[in-house]
Amino acid sequence: MSLLKEIKKRRTFAIISHPDAGKTTLTEKLLLFGGAIQVAGAVKSNKIKKTATSDFMEIERQRGISVSTSVMAFEYRDTYINLLDTPGHKDFAEDTYRTLSAVDSVILVIDCVKGVEAQTEKLMEVCRMRDTPVIVFINKMDREGQDPFDLLDELEEKLSIKVRPVTWPINIGARFKGVYQLFNKKLNLFDPNVTKIEKDIIHISDLSDPRLVEEVGEEDAEVLQEEVELIEGVYDDLSLEAYRSGKLAPVFFGSALNNFGVKELLDTFIEIAPEPLPRTTDTRLIEPTEDKFSGFVFKIHANLDPRHRDRIAFLRVCSGKFERNKFFHHVRLKKNVRFSSPATFLASRKNIVEDAYPGDVIGLYDSGTFKIGDTLTEGEKLTFNGIPSFSPELFRIVVNTDPMKSKQLAKGLKQLTDEGVAQLFTQEHLGNQKIIGTVGELQFEVIQYRLKNEYKASCRFEHKSFYKACWLSSDSEEELDNFVKRKLKYIATDKAGNYVYMSPSEWILETERKNHPKIQFHFTSEFE
């Protein structure tokens, strides 16, 4: 099959949400519709029991949360879908941010009871950075939740995006009777069913059709007619261009747990979601249709089973064709590498693949040669943009508690921060003091556990009350050097040697920005 045909078949997206909105349940039901799993619950049980890529998930078992992105590939209606299920917990948000750099669109899950939550807003900020197309699935409609119109208003206000309902609920909670498909003119009646796929769909071309009253009752039929008329008058038409440019979000209502509203979501998704998109690099725009292969690593995951020492680098194919056992150029290391066992995934299950195309996400067994953001090509020297490090929110000084294992500790800190578990800053003027920055408290537990179990190194963390880590840049080298000298107490370098200002408070940061207009203070590491 030609490269162009393979590209047109592919859709690569992430599911994002606040914790407990139903993200993993929706993932599972999409796989159920795609025939990738046969029994509801398979994804959740795999996530807890899997050993192939995440044996350190003792934390996951104890806390009942996802701590890393799962990659799943399946086919549905002649479309090859790469689905990335992300952690919802805020402590692992950076993993989600990086994952968003590897997808072409997003499905955002909202709990109809809680509405838009803090983590949802942060995730949408990252989507807006790249104008990522977003589809919204408002979940748990069989529970007593907020008024649908109030939810739409909240989405527009808090997420700064226009919305357009594609399906509309008939009542909510205990009185939830189903959804009406606004464009297909179909009525889907709700029947709570956790394991089966709903089939009861009635075509109603006109809301005055007497069958509507027969199915939902006169009162609900009248309310539906009024609400649909209001929707058509208030909300913009569903523009494919507006959706794909990240300006408008189609909205679906349903209950993932009961398989309700999921098929409509999936059917619409494969119709409107973009095919693999071009990617920017430091030299030029890469089109997916180019003959030459290119791709970048957006995630690295270590196997913490003591019997193994392999790591898997997750690579997004951006152009051309990836082939097993073919030599490709590792741009940062300036050497050629090849892979004998590239794999695709369904949660924990891995399958060796012979080739992969733009949009595909593959796992490459890695002995430590990859860092997040690394690029593979067929020889061209370029680096993909869009994989920033965000300013951490928590900081700890690393104190070595076993000086005999200093080398192991240094190696562990380097490799773990290469994976993106946390960020590492060095204060050279304080004897190369190491500071770890994370977005959540739980990450420190992960790091300590992994240092002990993987590298036989032990450390403790001392609290450091910084407000933000800001990357510094300036058109005036002299201005920057003077600032660094004067503020040395608060200066560190990141792993690439870039200056970082460790601001002690929000007020002090704002004061420094006003006093030094020629210096730019950046909250992400990517600011070119």
Mean pLDDT by 10 residues, the chain (528 residues): 90 88 85 65 41 39 51 87 73 71 94 90 83 95 94 95 94 89 84 56 77 87 92 91 95 90 91 94 94 92 55 91 95 93 70 90 85 92 80 91 93 84 90 89 85 89 92 93 94 92 95 95 75
- Backbone torsions φ then ψ of 79, nearest 5 degrees: -115, 135
- SS3 of 25, please? helix
Quote the CA–CA distance of 289 and 65 in Å, as a whole number.
38
Axis-axis angle for helices 148-159, 218-234 (nearest 10): 20
Cα radius of gyration (the chain): 25
Quote the CA–CA distance of 482 and 344 in Å, as a whole number.
51
Residue 107 in contact with residue 132, Cβ under 8 Å? Answer: no
Which residues are registered as beta bridge partners of 178? 170, 189
Residue 135 in contact with residue 173, Cβ under 8 Å? Answer: no
Axis-axis angle for helices 442-455, 406-419 (nearest 10): 130
Which residues are registered as beta bridge partners of 279? 286
Quote the CA–CA distance of 115 and 372 in Å, as a whole number.
33
Other C-beta atoms within 10 Å of 399: how many? 12
Which residues are registered as beta bridge partners of 17? 109
What angle is formed at CA 492 by the lines to CA 453 and CA 92, rounded to 5 degrees?
Answer: 45
Q: Is the dihedral of CA 411, 415, 420, 425 positive or negative?
A: positive
Residue 26 in contact with residue 13, Cβ under 8 Å? Answer: no
- Backbone torsions φ then ψ of 499, nearest 5 degrees: -70, 140
For 233, the enclosing helix (H) or strand (E) is: helix 218-234
* Integer angstrom CA distances of residue 279 from 82, 130, 241, 368, 509: 17, 11, 19, 25, 34
Q: Given its phi and psi angles, is residue 334 left (phi above 0), alpha (psi -120 to 50 degrees) or beta?
A: left
Q: Is 321 exposed, middle or buried (0-12, 13-18, 19+ CB in 10 A)?
A: middle
Which residues are registered as beta bridge partners of 139? 111
Residue 363 in contact with residue 314, Cβ under 8 Å? Answer: yes
Looking at residue 192, its pLDDT comes to: 66
Looking at residue 304, its pLDDT comes to: 41
Looking at residue 89, its pLDDT comes to: 53
Domains of the chain, earliest start first: 3-71+104-272 (3.40.50.300), 279-377 (3.40.50.300), 394-522 (3.30.70.3280)
Quote the CA–CA distance of 125 and 131 in Å, as a whole number.
10
Only one residue has tokens 């800001």, namely 470
For the record, the structure tokens of 116 come out as 């838009």
Q: What is the DSSP string of 458-518?
A: -EEEEEE--SEEEEEEES-HHHHHHHHHHTGGGEEE-TT--EEEEES-HHHHHHHHHH-TT
Residue 301 in contact with residue 50, Cβ under 8 Å? Answer: no
Length of the chain: 528
Looking at residue 55, its pLDDT comes to: 33
Looking at residue 56, its pLDDT comes to: 39
For the record, the structure tokens of 200 come out as 């009861």
Nearest to 207 by CA among 234, 230, 180, 170: 180
Looking at residue 193, its pLDDT comes to: 59
Other C-beta atoms within 10 Å of 201: how many? 15
Looking at residue 59, its pLDDT comes to: 47
Residue 281 in contact with residue 183, Cβ under 8 Å? Answer: no
Confidence (pTM):
0.80
